[in-house]
Amino acid sequence: MENKIKYVYSTLLAKEWRKLANFYIDVFQCQPRSDEFNFSGKWLAGLTELKNAGISGIQLVLPGYEDGPAIEIISYDQTSLRKHDIIPNLQGVTSLVFHVDSVDNILRKALAHGGQQLGATVTEDTDNLGKFSAAYIRDPEGNIIEVIHFVR
């Protein structure tokens, strides 16, 4: 029997999950899927292989969906902090990407809510993608977000 597969969410591990969640709510219009949660216990320790693990956080539905894919933003009771910045060519997940109506408007909003621009805003016309404008933004905890607008 074949398994049905459905993408549900990605998790961002944050130093301050509430502050980071508010950034995604205020800038990208993400909406809470449910109430905040706090998990701990043997099941979590077994799943994570972290003794006495405890997490708190929230799931935010991505814009453009009513009950679609989400970003889960969490903090562990004992979070190991990154020793280096995420950079665009670092192996692994490097960015979240949002299609927006105005790259400049979202960039201004992100900067007003503690984000930082990484690189320049670019406009390009390519054979395979067509014309687009894009910018990279770092959220308040350094995660990279690409905002893009396609002109078709």
Domain ranges across the chain: 9-76, 95-151
Going by C-alpha positions, the residue among 23, 56, 22 that lies closest to residue 39 is 56
Task: Give pLDDT, residue 79.
Answer: 72
Q: For 71-129, what is each residue's pLDDT tens digit?
A: 999 999 887 777 777 777 776 777 899 999 999 999 999 999 999 999 999 999 988 88
Alpha-carbon distance values, 74 to 1, 24, 41, 99 (Å): 34, 13, 16, 24
- pLDDT at residue 12 above 80? yes
- In sequence order, the 6+-apart residues with CB closer than 8 A to the CB of 133 are 103, 121, 122, 123, 148, 149, 151
Angstrom distance (rounded) from CA 90 to CA 94: 7
Task: Give pLDDT, residue 18.
Answer: 97
Q: Read off the pLDDT of each residue in 3-11 and give the average, rounded to a whole number.
A: 87
Going by C-alpha positions, the residue among 119, 20, 122 that lies closest to residue 72 is 20
Task: Give pLDDT, residue 101.
Answer: 94
Task: Give pLDDT, residue 30.
Answer: 96
- pLDDT at residue 135 above 80? yes
Question: Could you tell me what percent of the chain has a pLDDT over 90?
Answer: 64
- In sequence order, the 6+-apart residues with CB closer than 8 A to the CB of 24 are 30, 60, 71, 73, 139
Predicted confidence band at 2 (pLDDT cuts at 50, 70, 90)? confident
Four-way CATH pick for 95-151: 1.10.3720.10, 3.40.50.300, 3.10.180.10, 3.90.950.10: 3.10.180.10
Q: Would you say 86 and 142 are in contact if contact means Cβ atoms under 8 Å apart?
A: yes
Predicted confidence band at 3 (pLDDT cuts at 50, 70, 90)? confident
Residue 144 three-state SS: strand
Average pLDDT score, the chain? 90
For 97, the token pair is 């990407």
